[in-house]
Amino acid sequence: MRSEKKPWSPLLCDELIEEILSRLPVKPLIQFKCVCKGWNSLMSDPYFIKLHLSKSAAKDDLEHLQLMKNVCLGSIPEIHMESCDVSSLFHSLQIETFLFNFANMPGYHLVGSCNGLHCGVSEIPEGYHVCFWNKATRVISRESPTLSFSPGIGRRTMFGFGYDPSSDKYKVVAIALTMLSLDVSEKTEMKVYGAGDSSWRNLKGFPVLWTLPKVGGVYLTGTLNWVVIKGKETIHSEIVIISVDLEKETCRSLFLPDDFCCFDTNIGVFRDSLCVWQDSNTHLGLWQMKKFGDDKSWIQLINFSYLHLKIRPNEEKSMILPLCMSNNGDFFMLKFTRNADDEYQTILYNQGDGSFRTLLWRNLKIFTKSLVIPY
In a domain, residue 4? The reply is no
Residue range 281-293, pLDDT digits in tens? 677 788 889 999 8
Q: Is the dihedral of CA 364, 368, 373, 375 positive or negative?
A: negative
Rg (CA), the chain: 22
Q: Is the Cβ–Cβ distance between 128 and 145 less than 8 Å?
A: no
Residue range 129-170, pLDDT digits in tens? 999 988 788 888 888 999 998 887 778 889 999 999 999 999
Whole-number percent of the chain with pLDDT over 90: 19
Which pLDDT belongs to residue 170? 95
Task: Work out the average pLDDT over 114-143.
Answer: 87
Phi, psi of 57 (to 5 degrees): -65, -25
- Are 22 and 72 within one domain? no
Phi, psi of 21 (to 5 degrees): -65, -35
Task: Work out the average pLDDT over 106-123.
Answer: 83
Q: Is the dihedral of CA 229, 231, 235, 238 positive or negative?
A: negative
Which pLDDT belongs to residue 7? 39
| Domain-ending residue, one of 35, 59, 83 | 59
CA distance 142 to 374: 9
Task: Work out the average pLDDT over 295-312.
Answer: 76
pLDDT over 90 (residue 300): no
- Are 142 and 276 within one domain? yes
- Are 54 and 187 within one domain? no
Q: Is the Cβ–Cβ distance between 324 and 335 less than 8 Å?
A: no
- Are 47 and 68 within one domain? no
CA angle 288, 289, 290 (to 5 degrees): 100
- Are 351 and 363 within one domain? yes
In a domain, residue 53? The reply is yes
CA distance 293 to 253: 9
pLDDT band with cut points at 50, 70 and 90 for residue 78 = very low
The domain total for the chain is 2
- Are 50 and 173 within one domain? no
- Are 68 and 53 within one domain? no
Closest among 241, 256, 264, 268 to 334, alpha carbons compared: 268
Q: Is the Cβ–Cβ distance between 359 and 94 less than 8 Å?
A: no
Residue range 325-370, pLDDT digits in tens? 776 666 777 776 655 445 566 777 777 777 777 766 655 666 778 8
Strands across the sheet containing 109-114: 109-114, 117-124, 127-134, 139-140
Which pLDDT belongs to residue 109? 78
- Are 172 and 25 within one domain? no
CA distance 269 to 217: 11
pLDDT band with cut points at 50, 70 and 90 for residue 201 = very high
Instruction: Put residue 342 in one of left, alpha, beta given phi > 0 → left and psi -120 to 50 → alpha.
Output: left
Distance of CA 306 to the CA centre of its chain: 25
- Are 161 and 26 within one domain? no
- Are 211 and 84 within one domain? yes
Find all residues with CB under 8 Å of 234, minimum gap 6, and list them. 210
Residue 216 or 42, more confident: 42
- Are 284 and 205 within one domain? yes
Residue range 254-280, pLDDT digits in tens? 998 887 766 667 788 877 889 888 777
In order, the DSSP letters of 296-308 are T-EEEEEEEETGG
- Are 99 and 213 within one domain? yes
pLDDT band with cut points at 50, 70 and 90 for residue 90 = low
Which pLDDT belongs to residue 1? 42
Closest among 110, 185, 187, 112 to 149, alpha carbons compared: 187
